Chain A
């Protein structure tokens, strides 16, 4: 398998809906693992997913998934599952019938389709509700049956548009565990979600998008390091946080300090992370302060989102 055949690739892709911009000149190269699309409403996340799966066509540029395009539907949709945000279903079907209809279109035998439908229902923990008509489902159950339909045929790429919407905390945790399990199997998972703190825990990559433009992409920590103009916050666990803060403030790069609620640590914000760590190492070597742990406190998706896009959704 060539490198390109293992990637989701956008090559200078633009999409316009009439005169309205969907996305503009997007170039992405997404490796296997969990990739989170982050951006405010209307930023182009769903457009990117729809472009990936052929539900909309690019105005210019080229999209391929594992070297395939949606025009080659026979092969493409065996590899790709898409759990959309559209909360509607064919009428008068039970959850199980819905999955069976979908699987039978793959050309498999009825026995195989039934087995895979059962497996998918089990995986999303829909239980006996699979025998009921979808019209009677709660929002969370409809979300689950959509997810079941997207994973039932064992795709290698799973595209999930706001997959945690409508789920209760327990179901969210179960879904995240499932995503993590699927990612562990070497799958691509492309997730858009506004529940950033939860998705963040399982993300390997992040794509930040606003107003149809990609503002950052890559490994979350790498993206955070690249945001040099924004001070980084670091949590240091130690026995004398006040003393540590005063020592750190002797250098100019430290711009803010805040004691941890339990009094056994301090959050320090620095404009020069390299200089910050150099000084911290020096203090540790002196041995006056016992440093237990050091961890970045704001290189998660939410922090990067707020830095780059802003809480109001406008790119800063």
Chain B
């Protein structure tokens, strides 16, 4: 009986028009990327991504870089990732990108065009999520690479040695993975909030507060924080002093793979609930 049900389920899954959905998703992503990346409204996200890059560029051009300072600059870069990108840059960048995907189109009164297309709403939602993630990754990923290059370029041969024969490249890989997971995690949360609430910004501020308070919460609740997972992936942990302690997350030690899988599972749950919500989404522009 169970085997028959499984066989029927498999047949039903395989019988779905996956090829069509994939094609539709790709085309939706293309439309969304055009809107996300090449709109004047995106200047704020470019600013959030590249503000540290501009500062590091000035630092590289106008400061001397003795070899003994390499360790402290490496810590500064880790601090930028830990305190700025994860807690502020990616957070607010994703808030801006992902809350526009559904709520922004409600406000602009153009969402109905998508809902009247022969596209399953789940495909629409996941394609919009993919487009938002690609936009965020392109901006914050390229900013991360640029920051990394600017920090070590000033050190000349010592910097090259650190990057190519030392731990540099693996640290860059870890930073990129952290930024990618941060984009996906915050993206999923803000996409859902933008469907539930007319104005997701106050809720985002609560999420920010939640992330700050999370370290003092029981370990079970710590699992409901994006930043707490990311902390375990940091190649260098910078202890927070003074005001930075508010942005520092201290959680129980967890293996990197476990943290990554935990965050991916959290993202999957949030997206599954978002798919459920979008099926009941109604167009009521007059109440927006």
**A binding-site residues for B, Cβ under 8 Å:** 17, 50, 53-57, 71, 73-78, 80, 82, 84, 86, 88-92, 101-102, 104-107, 149
Nearest-neighbor residue (CB-CB) of B119 within chain A? A105
Do A76 and B118 touch (CB < 8 A)?
yes
Q: Tell me, in angstroms, the Cα distance from A78 to B27 when the chains sit together.
A: 17
CB distance from A50 to the nearest CB of B (A): 7
14 new A-B contacts at CB < 8 Å, known A57-B282, A73-B121, A75-B118: A50-B283, A54-B115, A55-B115, A73-B120, A74-B118, A86-B109, A86-B112, A86-B285, A90-B113, A91-B35, A91-B39, A102-B113, A105-B24, A107-B23
**CB pair A90 B110 closer than 8 Å:** yes
Q: B115 contacts which chain A residues (CB < 8 A)?
A: 54-55
- The closest CB in chain A to the CB of B26 belongs to A104
CA distance A204 to B119 in the complex (A): 32
A90–B117 Cα gap in the complex (Å)? 14
How far is the CB of A150 from the nearest CB of chain B, in Å? 8
Is B112 in contact with A90, judged by CB distance below 8 angstroms? no
Query: If the complex has contacts A57-B280, A105-B24, are A90 and B109 also in contact, measured as CB distance less than 8 A?
Result: no
**B27 pairs with A105, CB closer than 8 A:** yes
Please, which residue of chain A has its CB at the minimum distance from the CB of B41? Answer: A91
Residue of B nearest to A83 (CB): B116
Within 8 A of A (CB), among B91-137: 108-110, 112-121
Complexed CA–CA distance, A92 and B37 (Å):
13
Q: Compute how far the CA of A82 lies from the CA of B115 in the bound complex, rounded to whole angstroms.
A: 11
| B2 CB-CB contact with A under 8 Å | no
Give chain B residues whose Cβ lies under 8 Å from the Cβ of A86. 109, 112, 285
Q: Enumerate chain A residues within 8 angstroms of B121, measured Cβ to Cβ.
A: 73
What CA separation (Å) do A92 and B280 show in the bound complex? Answer: 29
Which residues of chain B are near A104, meaning CB under 8 Å? 27
Q: List 30 A-B contacts (CB under 8 A).
A: A17-B284, A53-B116, A54-B115, A56-B283, A71-B279, A73-B118, A73-B119, A74-B20, A74-B118, A77-B118, A78-B118, A80-B116, A84-B112, A84-B116, A86-B109, A86-B285, A89-B113, A90-B31, A90-B108, A90-B110, A91-B108, A92-B39, A101-B31, A102-B117, A104-B27, A105-B24, A105-B114, A107-B23, A107-B24, A107-B118
Q: Does B28 have its Cβ within 8 Å of any Cβ on chain A?
A: yes
Closest 7 CB pairs of A and B: A77-B118, A88-B109, A55-B283, A105-B117, A56-B282, A107-B20, A104-B27
Docked complex Cα distance between A92 and B39 (Å):
9
Closest to B23 in A: A107
Interface residues of B (CB under 8 A from A): 17, 20, 23-24, 27-28, 31, 35, 39, 108-110, 112-121, 279-280, 282-285
Q: Which of B108, B117, B279 contacts A106 (CB 8 A)?
A: B117
Kindly provide the distance from the CB of B23 to the nearest chain A CB, expressed in whole angstroms: 5
Q: Which residues of A contact B31 (CB under 8 A)?
A: 90, 101
Find chain B residues with CB under 8 A from A101 CB: 27, 31
**Of residues A54, A75, A78, which shows the largest number of chain B Cβ atoms within 10 Å of its Cβ?**
A54
Contact assessment for B120 and A74 in the assembled complex, using a CB-CB cutoff below 8 Å? yes
| A17 to B286 CA separation, bound complex (whole angstroms) | 12
Nearest chain B residue, comparing its CB with the CB of A56: B282
**How many angstroms from the CA of A84 to the CA of B28 in the assembled complex?**
21
A55 to B31, CA, bound (A): 21
Closest A-chain residue to B105, C-beta based?
A90
Q: Which of B110, B114, B116, B119 has the most CB of A within 10 A?
A: B116
Q: Which residues of the partner chain B approach A105 to less than 8 Å between Cβ atoms?
A: 24, 27-28, 114, 117-119
Q: How far is the CA of A312 from the CA of B39 in the complex (A)?
A: 46
CA gap between A260 and B110 in the complex, in Å: 51
Q: Please name the residue on chain B nearest to A82 by beta carbon.
A: B116
Closest CB of chain A to B232's CB: distance in Å?
Answer: 40
Closest chain B residue to A77 by CB distance? B118
Which of the listed residues A75, A80, A91, A105 has the most CB atoms from chain B within 10 Å of its own CB? A105
Q: Which residues of chain B have C-beta atoms less than 8 A from A107's C-beta? A: 20, 23-24, 118
Complexed CA–CA distance, A56 and B286 (Å): 13
Whether the Cβ atoms of B113 and A74 lie closer than 8 Å is no
Closest to B122 in A: A73
Known A74-B20, A91-B35, A91-B39; judge A55-B112 contact (CB<8 A): yes
A73 to B124 alpha-carbon distance, docked (Å): 11
Q: Is the CB of A55 within 8 A of B116?
A: yes
Docked CA distance A105–B112 (Å): 14
B20 — which chain A residues lie within 8 A by C-beta? 74, 107
Nearest CB to that of A74 among chain B residues? Answer: B118
A287 to chain B, nearest CB (A): 62
Question: Cα distance A84–B110 when bound, in Å?
Answer: 11
Report the minimum CB–CB distance from A79 to chain B (whole Å).
9
A17 to B109, CA, bound (A): 19
Chain A CB within 10 Å — which of B39, B117, B283, B285 has the most? B117
In the complex, the chain B residue whose C-beta lies closest to that of A80 is B116
CB pair B282–A55 under 8 Å, yes or no, is: yes
Closest chain-A Cβ to B16's Cβ sits at a distance in Å of 9
A57, A78, A88 pick with most chain B CB within 10 angstroms:
A88
Knowing A56-B282, A74-B17 are in contact, say whether A88-B110 is a contact too (CB < 8 A). yes
Task: Identify the interface centre among A73, A80, A86, A92: most chain B CB within 10 Å of its CB.
Answer: A73
Closest beta carbon of chain B to A162's beta carbon, Å: 15
Residues in A neighbouring B27, C-beta threshold 8 A: 101, 104-105
Point out the residues of chain B lying under 8 angstroms from A80, CB to CB. Answer: 116
* Residues from chain A with Cβ under 8 Å of B110 in the complex: 88-91
Q: How far is the CA of A202 from the CA of B110 in the complex (A)?
A: 31
- Nearest-neighbour CB distance to chain B for A54, whole angstroms, equals 7
